[in-house]
Amino acid sequence: MTPDASQSEKKPVYRKLPRRHYPDVMRDNDRKIDLDWDDDHVLPSKIYPDIAHLLRRMTDVTLGAVAVADRESVLDIGCGRAVDAIELAARGGQCSGLEPSGRMISRAQERIAQNGTVVSLARGVSAHLPFKSNSFDKVICKGALDHFSHPEQAIAEMARVLKPQGKAVIATANFESLGFKAGRRVFALTRFLRRGKTDDGDFWRIPEDHTIKLDYGTLRRLVRPHFRIERSIGISLLVGLPGWSSLLEKLPARVSATSLSALDKLASHLPSLSNVIVIRCTPSDKSTSWSAE
């Protein structure tokens, strides 16, 4: 598979790459990779206004940072159902998606066929990208870095496959956000007052399928050896704050939306405290500005 798949093809391209492209890493010597992982458990059963806002803004800001130009080659690492790759292809990009899970590859194929777009899919892992060096104009990794078995090597691979002045856009949850910090403190206080009897289902906890706890400082340290960060932006502030979701649901929709928008503008300048961090970086010295609006 090559990143410059022809846009004239009538059906999505997919092929299972031979194991030589990723020797032993699909089972990994020290960290097991779930080849049947799916995203059914990712979202809560009920989507409150703050979560809906967060997910929408995460997509808008991330794809805006990619800023794909016509016929630019784009690699989506950990593409899942290929939702973002499909959207970037619709904007003119020549998109490839990489995903280790056979189940998610199947779902991506179905979605690509339904949308009638051309997105090339490959099954592989982020630590051993099955592409030549200097192959892509843009790389996107949205909500996936903290699932990778070797995030440090994955970032090195992103730099390798990018063209000299290409751009990498990484979006990830911040487990040291203001809302999560407050949630942990309230949980500790509640547990103390109730003598250890309290709820154990708070989503600010690190999920079992995550391999690393990411925050702003950790993300910068991971990226720094291979990239120059051009821009960091935060999204949302108070997700995880006890009672916040319920309060927003009770408020009039316009008031709730206005509050979330105002906090989002504040969060954009405070990535270390925001719920989601989006960074755009380059392996070269060239940098340009971009807007999250």
In a domain, 12, yes or no: no
Query: Model pTM?
Result: 0.83
Alpha-carbon distance of 171 to 14, in angstroms, equals: 25
In a domain, 288, yes or no: no
Q: How many helices (H) and strands (E) does the chain have?
A: 8, 8
Which of the two residues, 63 and 292, has the higher pLDDT score? 63
The three-point CA angle 28-34-37 to 5° equals: 155
Q: Which two tokens stand for residue 90?
A: 């619709």
Outline where DSSP puts E strands in 136-248: 136-142, 162-173, 228-235
Taking the CA atoms of residue 77, residue 40, residue 276 and residue 249 in that order, the dihedral angle to the nearest 10 degrees is 150
Token couple for 63: 């794809």
What 3-state class would DSSP assign to 121?
Answer: strand
How far is 204 from 218, CA to CA, in rounded Å?
Answer: 17
pLDDT at 32: 64
Kindly give the pairing relationship between strand 276-282 and strand 228-235.
Answer: antiparallel
Domain assignment present for residue 5? The answer is no
Distance CA 244, CA 256 (A): 11
Q: Tell which wins on pLDDT, 32 or 225.
A: 225
As given in the structure block, the two tokens for residue 123 are 């099954």
Q: Is the pLDDT at 18 greater than 80, yes or no?
A: no
Number of domains in the chain: 1
| Number of Cβ atoms within 10 Å of the Cβ of 141 | 24
Which residues are registered as beta bridge partners of 74? Answer: 95, 138
Question: For the domain that residue 266 is a member of, what is the CATH number?
Answer: 3.40.50.150
Q: What is the CA radius of gyration of the chain?
A: 19
Predicted pLDDT of residue 54: 97
Burial letters for 189-223: b for 16+ Cβ neighbours within 10 Å, e otherwise? eeeeeeeeeeeeeeebeeeeeeebebbbebbbebb
Per-residue pLDDT averaged across 246-265, rounded? 96
Q: Is residue 77 part of a domain?
A: yes
Residue 262 maps to a domain: yes
In the prediction, which pLDDT does 212 show? 92
pLDDT of residue 205: 74
Question: How many Å apart are CA 249 and CA 256, to the nearest integer?
Answer: 8
Q: Which domain holds residue 61?
A: 23-37+46-282
Q: What amino acid is encoded at 164 in this protein?
A: P
Classified as helix, coil or strand, 253 is helix
Give me the residue label for tokens 């989002």: 264
Instruction: Please indicate, yes or no, if residue 292 is contained in any of the structural domains.
Output: no
pLDDT digits 0-9 by tens, 193-248: 666 555 545 666 777 788 899 999 999 999 999 999 999 999 999 998 889 999 99
The residue among 85, 79, 101, 96 whose CA lies nearest residue 34 is 101
Is a pLDDT exceeding 90 seen at residue 16?
no
CA distance 15 to 123: 8
Q: Which two tokens stand for residue 39?
A: 């995203």
Are 183 and 50 a contacting pair, CB within 8 Å? no
Q: Is residue 117 part of a domain?
A: yes
Q: Which SS3 state, helix, strand or coil, does residue 122 take?
A: strand
Note whether residue 54 is domain-resident: yes
Q: What is the mean pLDDT of residues 6-21?
A: 35
